[in-house]
A = this chain, B = another copy of it.
Amino acid sequence: MNFVSIQLDNTSNEPLYLQLFNQIKQAILSEQLPTNYRLPAIRTLAKTLQVNNVTVINAYKQLESSGYVISKKGSGFYVSKPNTSEISLMTTPNPKAAKASINFSSASPHPGIFPTDSFKACLNQVLDRDKGFAFGYQETNGFMPLREVLVEYLQKEHHILTTPESIQIVSGAQQGIDIISKSCLNAGDYVITETPTYNGATDAFKSRGARIVPVELTSEGIDLIALEKRINICKPKLVYVMTKFQNPTTLCYTQQTLKALLQLAQKYDFYLVEDDSMSELSYKDKSTYSLKSLDTFNCVIYIKSFSKLLMPGLRIGFLVIPDNLLDHFTRTKQMTDIAASGLIHRSLDLFFRTNKWEEHLSYMKAIYTSKYELMLSQLNKLKVYNITYTEPNGGLCFWLKLSKNISAYKLYELCLDKGLLILPSTIFYPNTHKQRDSFIRLSFAPCDAKEIVEGIAILEEVIKGYSY
């Protein structure tokens, strides 16, 4: 790549540093700039492009924080190279993966569709209204007016009846899982999970010293017969499930299974942890029954995440906690990080109260629906290769069963070489020796239409080359 050829447009709405970032990123993705290539010194490039040093610095930092380059102390910035896990793909600069030009692995929305402007307006309104109080210590359970607005939302949209006192606002679902682990588990306790499941949850349970017992899924939800057997053997403290668009299988529980689960929790005295990150994203029906909505026994700890629906970087979600656990959860949250940022709580409160949440959600749903349908239509092509899947009719992912002779992990590596990032099923199995290598998860969340079409084309090409 010749850096002199970089064109920056002073009249564009896009900041100069982002323009520069994008052009260098493209050069890395297209391998015009190979691994370990040293980028020009900051001053040199600034001079060449006739821009401020800060523009180059910001572009390089963005490249670094996105994992395209690494900096070596005193020596400059170098084009970098990968690993997998759902979390590390979200957050860790990961060279080879970051270089993939099409990303079917992340279920996070593209930052371009975040409601940045309307949220910014809320932030400013809160700062004008509350001044320094927005930066004081927030009560541990979260800003009370926000908890109240969430209670209304749960009642209206989720058929969940609760009170502000039962809500603990958390810094994202992952913190919710961490707080549940610390409040409910001691070393040696058992947790039953679905298999496959979200590895961020099982990692948190294991970190607390708990033992994970996986139970298979049927088309109606967790396998109730297998579950009851395991319960009898291990006496679990918690059973962790995702009842709507399960991650990664995209499965939805039937109401019958939900009710049977509640009966089991009552009979055997354990808590159900229901992790709900996307029940709003139903593209066909509007039925949104959850365990929590049917929880007359008060045995469900409900986790709601806003990362997929709003913006992951807000780091906000909440728990609905059974009454007899409330004090204990509050103490755990205090020991964990005292309280969260009041500014974000107050701004989100205003975002809800001024109906921006509703607007944004219907905007997101419209975008996601069209991406969902596009990917679904493209996937049709793969049926001739013995690839099968169920139409989830919601959520952000598809879960594809591969034909017998294909290894998901090998497919992941072959796709990566062609610039396509997918998730192999191996990472979703909590017990390493029972990992299955025959599924892949494809998300359309961060991709545009062109990328969806191109990505499925790459996948088809790799499968074709692989199997025949």
Contacts and interface: CB of A to CB of B under 8 A. Distances in A.
Given A178-B335, A341-B315, A108 B136 contact: yes
Interface string A177-208: 01000100011000000000000100110010
B174 A335 contact: yes
Contacts of A340: 171, 315
Contact of A335 (B134, B204, B330): B204
A64 B114 contact: no
A433 interface: no
A203 B182 CA distance: 12
Interface string A114-141: 1010011001100101011111111110
Contact of A139 (B58, B65, B135): B65
Contacts of A113: 132
B88 A334 contact: yes
8 shortest A-B CB distances, which residue pairs? A111-B132, A135-B311, A135-B313, A114-B132, A175-B337, A91-B140, A313-B342, A90-B137
A337 B172 contact: yes
A150 to B, nearest CB: 14
A313 B137 contact: yes
Contacts of A120: 124, 127
Nearest to A132: B111
Nearest to A87: B334
Contacts of A61: 144-145
A314 interface: yes
A287 interface: no
Interface in A319-350: 330-332, 334-344
Nearest to A187: B187
A93 interface: yes
A34 interface: no
A145 B314 CA distance: 19
Interface centre among A61, A64, A204, A336 (most CB of B within 10 A): A336
A119 B135 contact: yes
B182 A207 contact: yes
Given A203-B335, A339-B315, A340-B315, A135 B114 contact: yes
Interface residues of A, number: 75
A444 to B, nearest CB: 17
A111 B127 contact: no
Nearest to A15: B129
A57 to B, nearest CB: 8
A313 B140 CA distance: 11
A275 to B, nearest CB: 14
Contacts of A341: 171, 313-315, 341, 344
A340 B313 CA distance: 7
A465 interface: no
Given A73-B163, A91-B339, A135 B312 contact: yes
Given A65-B144, A187-B186, A136 B313 contact: yes
Given A73-B163, A335-B200, A343-B313, A127 B135 contact: no
Interface string A353-375: 00000000000000000000000
Contacts of A187: 186-187, 209
A439 interface: no
Interface in A151-191: 163, 170-172, 174-175, 178, 182, 186-187
B132 A64 contact: no
Contacts of A111: 131-133, 135-136
A119 B335 CA distance: 27
B91 A334 contact: yes
A133 B123 CA distance: 16
Nearest to A129: B15
A34 to B, nearest CB: 23
A92 interface: yes
A104 interface: no
A93 B139 contact: yes
B73 A337 contact: no
13 contacts: A87-B334, A91-B139, A91-B140, A114-B131, A116-B132, A135-B311, A174-B334, A178-B335, A178-B336, A182-B207, A186-B209, A187-B187, A209-B209
A172 B113 CA distance: 30
A127 B342 CA distance: 18
